[in-house]
Amino acid sequence: FDDRDGFIWFDGKLVPWREANVHILTHAMHYASSVFEGQRAYNGVIFKLRQHSERLVNSARILGFDLPWSAEEIDAACNEVLKANGLVDAYVRPVAWRGSEQMGVSAQATKPHLAVAAWEWGKYFDPAVAAKGLRLDIAPWRRPAPHTAPVHSKASGLYMIATMSKHHAEGRGYNDALMFDWRGQVAEATGANAFFFKDGVLHTPTPDCFLNGITRQTVMELAAKRGVQVVERAIWPEELEGFEQMFITGSAAEVTFIQSAGPWNFEIGDLSRQLARDYDDLVNGRLVNA
């Protein structure tokens, strides 16, 4: 991914893609002192950009470092990267981390750094597979309790178990994995939030130990606009038996239908399809006021 033409915004200026490098003693690489974002541009406009930039600033703050760039400046950096690379429909990846100024667990003397890359990224999941709904494995790892990890930061360290769960699922022929939390409640997929339909009501787990995704919040608003009742609550695996439809949401994943999660099967119903269409319309500027 590093050997290509293009420009990456790096600590305030655009540098050639191949030269956007960090030192091997970067604190983030040893101690996971990094946070990131992921958002999509549709027709040249980054969807909910300010919310993503604010979440990045907040994610870093939760890890104890303040970025010397405001959300507004991060917005500008993201737009600059799109423009410099001539991108219109793209995925934008800001990442912030503690630098190589100090080694050891303590990082008081490190400097915060920020980079923004962007590239064309079609669908997160193979469209042919997603059209039939993904098959989810049940992850061997559980989302940690809020007092054991900075669960409301989009911190890179939290993705260690996500990547391991994803690889475990792929190794067994699945597309992704559904993760439970430390209590055993349904949490989310490895990079997207989970939703379920039953009798026309939309159910989603309370985000008390994982990200309250920006797409998640958007889809809940879209559902409410359609007059669909949305219930945010603790969901136990035993309940999955009774749910009729399932989908996951994320900036990269958008709205993706689920065919099965472990032993539980779902159908791709009209309600899920409607919300996926609404989301597509909204991000492409065909729906207003959402």
Q: Which residues bind ligand PMP (CB under 6 A)?
A: 38, 162, 188, 191-193, 210-211, 213-216, 249-251
3-class SS of residue 147: coil
Distance, CA of 208 to CA of 249 (rounded, Å): 17
Q: Which residue, judged by CB position, is nearest to ligand PMP in the bound state?
A: 213
SS (H, E, C) 246-280: EEEEECCCEEEEEEEECCEECCCCHHHHHHHHHHH
Asked whether 281 and 287 are in contact (CB, 8 A), the reply is: yes
Is position 154 annotated as part of the catalytic site? yes
Q: Which two tokens stand for residue 24?
A: 């091997």
Q: In the complex with ligand PMP, which residue's Cβ is closer, 94 or 133? A: 94
Kindly name the residue from 154, 166, 198, 225 that is annotated as catalytic.
154
Q: In the complex with ligand PMP, which residue's Cβ is closer, 133 or 250? A: 250
Which residues, in sequence order, are bridge partners of residue 250? 254
C-alpha torsion 135→257→236→160, nearest 10: 60
Q: Least distance (Å) from ligand PMP to the CB of residue 215?
A: 3
Q: Least distance (Å) from ligand PMP to the CB of residue 240?
A: 18
Q: In the complex with ligand PMP, which residue's Cβ is closer, 110 or 272? A: 272
Q: Least distance (Å) from ligand PMP to the CB of residue 219?
A: 9
Binning the chain into helix, strand and coil, the percentages to the nearest 5 are 30, 30, 40
Q: In the complex with ligand PMP, which residue's Cβ is closer, 162 or 178? A: 162
- H/E stretch holding 162 reads helix 160-171
Q: Least distance (Å) from ligand PMP to the CB of residue 211?
A: 4
Q: Least distance (Å) from ligand PMP to the CB of residue 179?
A: 8
For Cα atoms 11, 13, 15, give the angle at the middle one, nearest 5 degrees: 100
Q: In the complex with ligand PMP, which residue's Cβ is closer, 11 or 54? A: 54
Residues marked active site are found at 154
